[in-house]
A and B are shown apart, each in its own frame.
Chain A
Amino acid sequence: MSQPLVHVVDDDASFLKALTRLLGAAGFTVRHYPSAAEFLSHRPHDTPGCVLADLRMPELTGLDLQKALAESADPLPVVFLSGHGDIPSTVRAMKQGAEDFLTKQAPKEVLLAAVERALERDARERLERTRKKDLITRLSALTLREREVLGLVVQGKLNKQIADLLGIHERTVKLHRTAITTKLEVHSVAELTRLVQEAGLLP
């Protein structure tokens, strides 16, 4: 796993420089961008990290950045910084899943803690995303008939019932189940159900 990156986005060059300097001194690897657009087009992909963004910026604001990031395949947690907090922006930011909302003059400890928390969350979410991706890869190895069977298994249907529903022999159902557990590397129906749920295949 590569070193996490802290991305700092602010249209105020002076503040951008100071923050980059602080985070660097605190031991983070920092990348800085003068605008949201700059960040969105130049950030490295599949790299853990987090974003510290000014809420008020010309053209794309902090909230725009957050929204674009959330819709991307490779989201990062966002910590908002503001010259001063105004309530409507804060509420909107938090609703959209902002990691934190800080004033630009927040104490160093609060700021650094927020960055740590954001990075941890990124790591956790990133792992999750990897697992899910892996699962989906494995599920995609199943044949069409195997997926049908899997669907009915996780619904708690017995082999006999499945055979009746699909109009196939009960022994054929057993063969499909063996193939599924082999391909998905699971050992129990409970484990299988959890996996399918995690993959988001079940409602």
Chain B
Amino acid sequence: MPRSRAQTLAALAFLALLAPAYLCGAETPPKRVLILHSFGQQVEPFRTVAEAFRTELSLRSPNPIAFYEGSLETARFSEGDIDRPFADYLRALSLNQPPDLVVPIGAPAFRFVERHREDLFSDISVLVAGIESRHLNGVDLGPHATAVTFSLDLLGFIEDILRMLPGTNRMSVVIGDSPLDRFWVEEMRQAWQPFNGRIEFTWFNDLTLAAMRQSVEAMPPHSAVVFALNDFNASGLPNEPGAVLDALTKATNAPIFGFFEPELGHGVVGGRLTDVRGLGVRSADMAMRILNGEPPESIPAYAAPPPVPQFDWTQLERWHIDASRLPPDSVIRNRQPSVWRVYRWRVVAAGALVALEAMLILLLMRNRERLQATRADLVKNQENVRLAARAARLGFWTLDLDRDHLWITDEGRELFGWDKTEPLGFGSFLATLRPEDREPTLRAVRRALDGGEDFEAEHLIVLKDGSERWMSTRGSAHQKGTEQPVTLSGVSMDITTRKQAVREAQDLRRELSHSARVSLLGQFTASLAHELGQPLGAIRRNADAAELFLKNTPPDLEEIRAILSDVHKDCERAAMVIDRLRTMLRRREIEIQPLVWSELVHEAVSIVRSDAQARGIMLEIETPLGLPRLMGDRVHVQQVLINLIANAMDAIDEDSMGDRRVTVSAHTENGNLECAVSDTGPGIPPHRLQAIFDPFVTTKPNGMGMGLPICQTIVETLGGRLWAENQARHGAIFRFSLPIAES
């Protein structure tokens, strides 16, 4: 059965391949070349040799060439009688028209030709294309024949593997069971004798593909696979180029080494791979010469040079083989960077595109993140605003005038003392105001509506329970187009604590200025005693006189009446001094009113006059005529004046250079009344002109350093300014300005 099947196959293959070859025919009869394959046409490495040969010969020949191909399918099983039917066919073919050249590829084909030299190819030229040199050892090629040979370096093969993977101690040889395979098993055993003991060889020649796959799947460490199979699997499945190698490559856990270049890229690591294509090309070269009439025996056989070591980069990577361990002059194929070299611009473009897309994606993601963050911020902000509004006691509101609807936050309702659900309108707001505040508030709102501008008001509200609360309300009117504004919106804030703080500060300031006044007047007790002593003395003397007059007979009533009148006057005078003193010493609110400068000065000076006299200091009052009235608080302005005069006199006592004089003057300046107190003392060091207004800065042994700061506070409270200068010659001059009263 196997026999008849093989014959049929061979015949079918032959006939099938004859048909396309005829198509190449032309007027001149084409040269006929019979290619004899050792196994099948698709079996490597012979397939590549034949293909290269055909292609090269077709390209080089000026005339068309008719190729006939036949495969010795039988060579797989045995040699000898089994090839007779195939020989018969060939003979039948040759009788009709014998081929010009017979090209056996591989040892089995060559043997077939050798066997049938007499009966089939007696006068026909023979070119053996691609035969391992071992097969020709002691063999005569015969007449009209030449050959292209190659040599497998079996010893070097193992040495190379050990060089790359020094620890390798186990090798499985994938090989078939044909006569050729058996030949090679024997050759290898012989050649690898030196490695016995170091390497354990396992031969897969009797295994099915499945068994081989299982074996290579479970290779122990430090193993290697030697791929020496002509591309058939032992179980005889239909041959597909590279099928066995590919299957093993997928399964193996050890590196695979092979012998022929076509295997590179199909899973072998590499090695000294025979350039089978080169054999085909060289054969075509020689065939051309034979077809051109050169006798084959005159052409010496060609032996291919030892192959260059070649390796597959991906396999080197896979098995972690360091490139430095490769044989010298090795060529690495399939290197990844070559992709870069080949597809440089496409890679660049693709890379750019990828980068662009990545950027776009990144941007979108960032955007999305930002959006989310913004949304989170917004929520947080809302929460913050709510918290801040609560903490600051703020109420936001909007008033729709068309519908008379007041919207206000819960905090706002709380501030105004409204229930959470109570419907509100403008009237609700007005109702919280004190009756006297309603009209001015209405006016302010109306002004804001008319002008479309902002308004701001501080107002007291009366809550339902009768308690009072100070509020600050700010708002603005919103227009719809050019129409009259229809909504007002704004914010109301509880400023009760601020108002209280302001009041407390005012109280404190009043207290401070009061105690400063008391201590100031304390400096003038002697002076005041004198002021009071004058009228009291006069009263006493008048009383004494009256007594004497009463003793006269008759009493001088006229004189006594005059005396009584004078006593009255002096009593009033004394009372005035005491009044003035009491006013100065009293705690009081600031009361701003129009004041006449000369009166102010006169009263102030009356307190210090006597002291000045005692200290031998001249007090000059310069009052220009027609001076307008000023706005201020009588006592406080006098306090400032007395303080400045007292300071001036102290300065004179320090050093006066003989001239002891204090001048109090006033004039109008830029719509203010500018008052000046100058002295003939030593003046103020320029660097201290500012510092003297700081609290606790003093040059006096008993001074507190509070006089000038308090004076400054008083003047500023009255809307003026107080400062110090030095006079051109000597002495200091203190100036303060106060607003002029509107006439």
Contact = CB atoms under 8 A, between A and B. Distances in A.
A59 B620 CA distance: 11
A18 B545 contact: yes
A181 interface: no
A25 B563 CA distance: 12
Interface stretch (A83-91, A113-121, A145-153, A158-166): A83-91
Nearest to B562: A21
A178 interface: no
A70 interface: no
B261 to A, nearest CB: 135
Q: Which of A58, A61, A89, A111 has the most CB of B within 10 A?
A: A58
Interface string A8-24: 00001011011101101
B198 to A, nearest CB: 133
Contact of B614 (A24, A86, A105, A108): A86
B610 A83 contact: yes
Contacts of A81: 537
B548 A105 contact: no
B610 A18 contact: no
Contacts of B531: 83
Interface string A85-116: 01001000000000000011100100100000
A89 B549 contact: no
Nearest to B613: A56
Interface in B641-692: none
A61 B617 CA distance: 11
A18 B538 contact: yes
B529 A105 contact: no
B566 A14 contact: yes
Contact of B610 (A15, A56, A59): A56
B534 A14 contact: yes
B541 A84 contact: no
A115 B691 CA distance: 55
B444 to A, nearest CB: 57
Contact of A104 (B526, B537, B549, B569): B537
Q: Which of A22, A57, A58, A89 has the most CB of B within 10 A?
A: A22
A56 B530 contact: yes
Contacts of A56: 530, 610, 613-614
B616 interface: yes
B389 interface: no
B535 A89 contact: no
A14 B616 contact: no
B166 interface: no
Contacts of B541: 15, 18-19, 21-22, 104
B538 A15 contact: yes
Interface string B289-329: 00000000000000000000000000000000000000000
B570 interface: yes
A17 B534 contact: no
Nearest to A24: B545
B549 A103 contact: no
Interface string B536-559: 111111101101110000000001
B544 A103 contact: no
B535 A21 contact: no
Contacts of B533: 82-84, 103-105
A181 to B, nearest CB: 54
Interface in B617-652: 618
A190 interface: no
Given A61-B613, A83-B529, A108 B544 contact: yes
A18 B616 contact: no
Q: Which of A18, A21, A24, A89 has the most CB of B within 10 A?
A: A18
Nearest to B551: A25
A83 B527 CA distance: 9
17 contacts: A15-B535, A18-B538, A18-B539, A18-B542, A18-B566, A21-B542, A21-B559, A25-B544, A25-B549, A83-B533, A83-B537, A84-B526, A84-B533, A89-B614, A103-B537, A105-B533, A108-B544
Given A22-B541, A104-B541, A105-B533, 17 more contacts: A14-B535, A17-B566, A18-B538, A18-B540, A18-B570, A19-B538, A22-B548, A25-B544, A25-B549, A25-B559, A26-B548, A61-B616, A82-B530, A83-B531, A83-B534, A86-B526, A108-B547
Interface of B: 526, 529-542, 544-545, 547-549, 559, 563, 566, 569-570, 573, 610, 613-614, 616, 618
User: 5 tightest CB-CB pairs across the interface, nearest first?
Assistant: A83-B533, A104-B537, A83-B530, A18-B541, A25-B548
